[in-house]
Homo-oligomer: A and B are copies of this chain.
């Protein structure tokens, strides 16, 4: 281990001298928090920061992952609060044209009325986190490079996961920090009977829709409730009527008095990914190529979806999750590009790199140790970018729902030929349930007429790629070449595939989970034939990608190690990029200046809903809400200094995608809101943290309670959370 040779101690300490961090910057690993005690107390924390390092104690033990979103327990009966947009799939899954609960909202009258969440929904309760760096790196043979290195690390990870999951009900995962400088094994209890308890109408929970997404001022009631169920024995179990609510060790208490401007807040959650230590060359590629092209592509697809839905309006409900996902991604990228336009990220990166190189070469020991880490990394980045057209457009071109399903099923058949531990992650025995759930979820998200037309659009986007970026097998299968496609011919092929398939039937799809490679090779189903035809090419590309990933695994940690040491020499901190692991960020309720002469106040009010409301989606608040606002029928939920109910608020917290649904806690660890978004001017923060601009957006718990109490009469849940309904019986 190189770090040992440099005499840097293992573990947390390499990440920071926390005392140097800029205020509010940083998605901190809980274990780092005691080092931040002074700043956290200065910011207003009243708890001992050390309590936050106990991931199974209070309050951290109440924070859970939904896989992609964060949530928290808010009762001893496994009641879970998260964002409306995090439960969106489950609300949509339970919606029908006749009973559109996405539109109308849903409130289970009693436990037995709570609805199964969408297939694949999970609640992950943190059990433990272990440093496994030694184990992983020890498994890499000396001098192993490229794919060999990648495979060795993957094998070591799989072994650790398999070992960890011998404990029943557990789900494990190895997380990589600093590109592989440090590895952690995360063990979580995996609860797989999750039910939908309560969601407000979309016109509250998604108020402002895509138009307001990433924007302030915001008036979105982005909350909903799930519940974790387990078997009568208290252990995770598949959905069954006899299951009982899970009894968490910890749950959050509601701070009915909420927060005011300037107050301390913190968020614990699972931020997905940031790129704060990427090189100038990577930033440039993303500014000049990746984001503009991927965004244009997403926007084209969205436009095409809208066109197609004109023709098949009844398909909209099924498409909603895809539309929401694509829209969200496109707008995020646009905000990011606006940030890149506004703020020069490349020049400071270049200067940092020059400084780092000079520092390395100023000392023979350092020069010997870090060598050409930066140059190596740059060369690798260049290699990685060579296939960028193919990666983006071929990736998109093949993302037809049923082709994707067929490819997954065929890959499973291929992988099943190997011993479980040798299979590709995602195709092990531990993954079968997920694959089945994906096959099930297609039932409520797939419309073959729409998918068919989108497949054509996807192919058209791929069609102009030059020879070097094309996938021959795909060209051959569809009989296309560079340039304009023969539309009639491609359409005829697609018609044949979509019309002839039997995969539209769930039982058929599930049946294929048990089929052999030979069964697939004999099939005349168009999707399966295409999956089989593309398989060798896909596998070859995967191997190529893994070879590069293996190189990165060797080079990036070396660069990060140098960077950490360099920054330390300058008295500056390097904390790890977000990587889907549990983090804590703290700061204060605070507005900001989005642009010259404009100040965004930290709280919105329901009066702002009256201003925005047009009666048309997405500004179509329910009539009872508008009436209650007109009457200022606010009960005990007002913030005196605001003279109204706070609907949403801004904070200086450093968050990103994956943090959605995170509980926002006050200085005493009580629930004051839910994190659900970042402000438009913050979107650059995934690449560069700008303290004056980074703001997170939260729905205020007082608005949540008011909607529950005054509008939706969710007294059962308020009682369960220990909140006395103020409007009960009125």
- Please measure, in the bound complex, the distance between the C-alpha atom of A593 and the C-alpha atom of B596, giving whole angstroms: 15
A597 and B600 contacting across the interface, CB-CB below 8 Å: yes
Say how far A603's CB is from chain B's closest CB, in angstroms: 6
Of the candidates B596, B605, B607, which one forms a contact with A604 in the assembled complex, judged by CB atoms under 8 Å apart? B596
A163 at the interface (CB under 8 A from B): no
A330-360 vs B, CB cutoff 8 Å, 1 = contact: the mask equals: 0000000000001000000000000000000
Least CB distance from A590 to B in Å reads 13
Enumerate chain B residues within 8 angstroms of A599, measured Cβ to Cβ: 598-601
> Using a Cβ–Cβ cut-off of 8 Å, how many residues does chain A contribute to the interface with B?
21
Interface residues of A in 210-228 (CB under 8 A from B): 216-217, 219
A233 proximal to B (CB < 8 A): no
Q: Which residue of B lies closest to A605 (CB)?
A: B596
**Residue of A596, A597, A603 ringed by the most chain B CB atoms within 10 A:** A597
The contact of A605 among B591, B597, B608, B612, by CB within 8 Å, is: B597
C-alpha gap A186/B261 in the complex (Å): 55
Nearest CB in chain B: distance from A683 CB, A: 16
Q: Is A518 an interface residue (CB 8 A)?
A: no
**Which of A342, A599, A602, A612 gathers most chain B CB within 10 Å?**
A599
CB distance from A619 to the nearest CB of B (A): 12
Q: Are B595 and A217 in contact (CB-based, < 8 A)?
A: yes
Nearest CB on B from A303, distance (A): 22
State whether the Cβ of A167 lies closer than 8 Å to any Cβ in chain B.
Answer: no
Using Cβ atoms and an 8 Å threshold, which residues of chain B touch A142?
none
Contact (Cβ within 8 A) A598 B601: yes
Cα distance, A328 to B354, chains bound together (Å): 51
* Contact assessment for B611 and A604 in the assembled complex, using a CB-CB cutoff below 8 Å: no
CB-based contact A597/B342 at 8 Å: no
Cross-chain contact of A597 among B595, B597, B604 (Cβ < 8 A): B604
List of B residues within 8 angstroms of A600 by Cβ: 597-599
Closest 8 CB pairs of A and B: A596-B608, A217-B597, A599-B599, A597-B604, A597-B601, A596-B604, A217-B596, A595-B611
A residues touching B (Cβ–Cβ < 8 Å)?
Answer: 216-217, 219, 342, 591, 593, 595-605, 607-608, 611-612
What are 26 A-to-B residue pairs whose CB atoms are below 8 Å?
A216-B597, A217-B596, A217-B597, A217-B598, A219-B596, A342-B611, A591-B597, A593-B601, A595-B608, A595-B611, A596-B604, A596-B605, A596-B607, A596-B611, A597-B602, A597-B603, A597-B604, A597-B605, A597-B608, A598-B598, A598-B599, A598-B600, A598-B601, A599-B599, A599-B600, A599-B601
